[in-house]
Amino acid sequence: MKAMLTHKKYLIIIAAGILLQACAIQPEPPVETEAPASIEEQKAAQQKAMQEASTKELNLKRKIAIGRVSNETIHGRSLLRDTHDDPLGKQVADMLSQRLIESGQFLVIERPDISRIQSESDLANTDFNMVGVDSLILGSLTEFGRNTTGSKGFWSKSKKQTASAKVAMRLVDISNGLAYFSATGAGEASTESGEIAFSGSTASYDGSLNDKAIANAVSDVVDDIISNLNSRPWSTFILSKENNALFISGGKLQGIKAGMKFKIVTQGKKVKSPQTGFYITLPGESVAEIEITSTFGDSEINEGSVAKITSGSIENHKIEDVATPEGFEKDPDLVQAFYNKRRHGLQSENIQPNSAHKALGELEDKLDGKVTIITQNIDNLHERGGSNNIIHMHGELLKARCSESNQVIDHKDNIETGELCHCCQIPAQMRPHIVWFGEMPLRMGDIYSALEEADLFISIGTSGVVYPAAGFVHDAKMHGAHTIEINLEPSAVESEFEEKRYGKASIEVPKLVGELLCTEKGSLTA
């Protein structure tokens, strides 16, 4: 369980994740070997080398997205400026985007583009996803300063103006939400001016130094980012399989052409290293090879490619058959049966809320304030534990949704193929109210609003490595919330928390709730 709270407004989160099972990756570069002895063998080796060289020189572009880049300093802010108006943060993002585009190695999707696409999707009642994006870049301006120093002689004086900046960046794997790389950069810019006695005053502060310092800080970190991005194998995702055609994300703009060949590799199991405490992904299994037959789309947002399988099979290595829109379209009976079974199991008498659920319900009932639970779990245990103000990021198992209008209804029984909605002029198939892989989490606007208002933020039972939930503590802390971590062991973001408590949630959560209610009672009776 993963949770957040606030003195006046309290938040709680529960996590559950789904990983993609297969992706297409660029084959590894060939290994040099000694030439065979015979002429026939040499000719064959030359032909093979030429084929491998053409593959090696694909120079495929990575598709990356630039997300939130915030200004964590006091500069560039005022009481009259809202939290969304962040000129210095935008400046860092713009400089980073420019450097990445100038490298010629990436297709860059900037945050305004993401917001625009999201808005258009909302208006059209369609799902938005970032399938095909390799990595998400998140960052912040962590330090910024300006100072003026000088010296004075009998006939002259001089003034040195200096601006300094530090930025922090991290890379997040879109496929699993894990932050896999972080780096910092520092930059400085200065100028000197002087005057001779009686000739006039020196110039005022040179505002261009600010831009130069930030640009130098971005330059200091961007090479590490580019190097890390390029060190990862080029990969993309399988969108759908129809008859003998395989559709993958990524097309002409990324350098994909007809005739190119790729390997299909299953995504390896994610495990936690006992030595480092970090999660690592085990190597996947190569199950098939494909050849590109054509490309489609006219922008980095909608482009893709069509391929045929030349060897191997993916029939036994399907891409989350029960957790993607494509899987539902391909085999709705399989998907409905999967969730029907779990819906039935959730309503068993053996499934009951634990002491942590009940303690949070008591907190909401007795606290003179607001408690909001943000959960990634799809069960109803928080509701049964007594909580009412709950945001289900990943949907709810006991609800169904129209696949066309997205209208949601309570639904505790089985959902059958052929069960149609009553909200559309032409009735559409009902589906589980679950956020599948590639779909956006629900009510993100409400979540970030709650984070901005929180006085106290408590995270319960999270690894701190899966985004966007892993970044919630950072946002809450930026807006002044006191932060507490309750976990069996320190999370990947434990440094963000001011207070840490380690132990079972069933023990630590009721204990903390008791302390909060006792403190509140004391303050009311004092």
HEC secondary structure over 488-510? CCCCCCHHHCCEEEECCHHHHHH
pLDDT for the residue numbered 87: 79
Angle between the N-to-C axes of helices 208-231 and 87-102, in degrees from 0 to 180, rounded to the nearest 10: 50
Going by pLDDT thresholds of 50, 70 and 90, the confidence category of residue 186 is: very high
If asked whether residues 9 and 28 sit together in one domain, one would say: no
If asked whether residues 244 and 372 sit together in one domain, one would say: no
If asked whether residues 199 and 225 sit together in one domain, one would say: yes
If asked whether residues 245 and 218 sit together in one domain, one would say: no
Q: Which of 254, 284, 317 is the last residue of a domain?
A: 317
pLDDT for the residue numbered 150: 63
If asked whether residues 476 and 500 sit together in one domain, one would say: yes
If asked whether residues 505 and 398 sit together in one domain, one would say: yes
The 10s digit of each residue's pLDDT in 449-473 is 888 888 889 888 877 777 788 888 8
In a domain, 294, yes or no: yes
CATH number of the domain to which 251 belongs: 2.40.10
In a domain, 31, yes or no: yes
| Mean of pLDDT values over 286-314 | 83
In a domain, 50, yes or no: no
* Amino acid identity at 255: G
Whether the pLDDT of residue 151 is over 70: the answer is no
Gyration radius of the chain's alpha carbons: 27
If asked whether residues 128 and 242 sit together in one domain, one would say: no
| Mean of pLDDT values over 342-360 | 90
- Residue in this structure with the two tokens 């391909």, named with its chain if needed: 330
**Least confident span in 121-125, 338-342, 485-489, 503-507:** 121-125
The 10s digit of each residue's pLDDT in 401-455 is 999 999 999 999 999 999 999 999 999 999 999 998 878 889 888 998 888 888 8
In a domain, 49, yes or no: no
If asked whether residues 392 and 490 sit together in one domain, one would say: yes
Question: Which one has a higher pLDDT value, 9 or 69?
Answer: 69
If asked whether residues 242 and 227 sit together in one domain, one would say: no
Give the SS3 label for residue 198: coil
CATH number of the domain to which 177 belongs: 3.40.50
In a domain, 84, yes or no: yes
Report the distance separating Cα 355 and Cα 352, nearest Å: 10
If asked whether residues 189 and 219 sit together in one domain, one would say: yes
Q: Which of 317, 352, 385 is the last residue of a domain?
A: 317
pLDDT for the residue numbered 390: 93
Report the distance separating Cα 512 and Cα 515, nearest Å: 5
For the chain, the domain total comes to 3
pLDDT for the residue numbered 82: 46
If asked whether residues 214 and 350 sit together in one domain, one would say: no
If asked whether residues 100 and 208 sit together in one domain, one would say: yes
* Amino acid identity at 246: L
| Mean of pLDDT values over 10-26 | 39
Q: Which of 178, 197, 231 is the last residue of a domain?
A: 231
The 10s digit of each residue's pLDDT in 499-517 is 999 988 889 999 999 998 8
165-202 burial, b if ≥16 CB within 10 A, otherwise e? bbbbbbbbbbbbbbbbbebbbebbbeeeeeeeeeeeee
How high is the mean pLDDT of the chain? 77
In a domain, 475, yes or no: yes
Active site residue ranges: 394
In a domain, 334, yes or no: no
Do β-strands 2-3 and 395-402 pair in parallel, antiparallel, or remain unpaired?
unpaired
CB 83 within 8 A of CB 480: no
Whether the pLDDT of residue 525 is over 70: the answer is no
217-255 burial, b if ≥16 CB within 10 A, otherwise e? bbebbbeebbebbeeeebbbbbbbbeeeebbbbbbbbbe
Owning domain of residue 31:
22-35+235-317
pLDDT for the residue numbered 168: 92
CATH number of the domain to which 479 belongs: 3.40.50.1220
pLDDT for the residue numbered 197: 47
Q: Hey, what are 526's tokens?
A: 């004092």
Q: How far apart are the first and last CA of the chain?
A: 35
In a domain, 336, yes or no: no
